[in-house]
Every structure is written in structure tokens, then in C-alpha cells.
Structure 1
Amino acid sequence: MHTISNAVALYAVETNAYPNSVDDLVKKDSSGKAYLQSKTTLPDGAEYSINSEGVVSGVFNGVTYDSAANHRMTAAESS
């Protein structure tokens, strides 16, 4: 998740916008540059998401992992 978060930050600095998804980080731009070499998924194959503020998150085994938090949150805690 840190690698994706770092790629989001670099993307934002260079484009003045956050990417809509991890796909945007893998896709090469007009100069052939990509921010990630390949699309990373959670251990169960689920995709990470990127919100409008550039925060990367993913849910695995009922626990939400979030690049902006220093902790994990279960689905019950987030309700």
C-alpha cells in the first residue's frame, strides 16, 4: 500500500490531480512513463481504491486498510 500511496503522491505532484484508480498509475502516459510497473491487488485479489483526496484503501478479511490512518478498522467499527 505504501508503494501505491507514493505513486499517487508523485502522480498528483506531476499532474496536479489525483488518479481515479490504480489503473491510472499503471497506464503509460504520452512519454511512456508509468507510476507503477504493474497493478497490485490485495491477497484475495481485490483491488485497492483511491479516493478523491488521494487516500489508498482496501478491504481484506473484513478489515479496511487505509494509507491515511495509522490503524486498521473492521467493518463493524466503520459503521
Structure 2
Amino acid sequence: MPSPIDLKDPIEVKQWAAEVNLKRPWRYDIFQMYVDSILAFNPNAYVLELGSGPGYLAEFLINHCPNIHYTAFDFSEAMHD
């Protein structure tokens, strides 16, 4: 499915990143489900996130699971900023 934004355009990416969690507040419920699973399974887990975007999930997991080993990848240079 094509993305509704140009993930290589820094302006579009910045706008998307500023709005994504406001438009989809339920994302934090999903983030918490990941936290619960990691803590129940292995609090020292190695986590690989593909398509990490601006890192909202990474930030949430690292703040709630301080012992995980986290690696995030995203093809979009604009997302890295």
C-alpha cells in the first residue's frame, strides 16, 4: 500500500511526525502492549524495529523497559531528523 506522504520529503515527514500521535492516541495502548509483552517474556530482550520512523515506539520502550537492547532502522533519511 503506498504511503499517503512522501517519506523522503523532510517537510511532509515533519508534519506527519508532529500529528501522528495526536490523530492516533490509541498508539500508546499498543506501545504499552509491547512493554507488557517484553517485561513478561524477557526484560533483557533484544528488540529490532524495522520502519522506526521518528522513534516514538523506541522512546516509549526504552523508557519503560530500561534493560532492553534496542536497534531501530528506517530507510527515510527525513525520519532520522
Q: TM-score, normalization: structure 2?
A: 0.22
**Bigger relative contact order, structure 1 or 2 (CA pairs below 8 A, ≥6 apart):** 2
Higher helix share: 2
Q: TM-score, normalization: structure 1?
A: 0.23
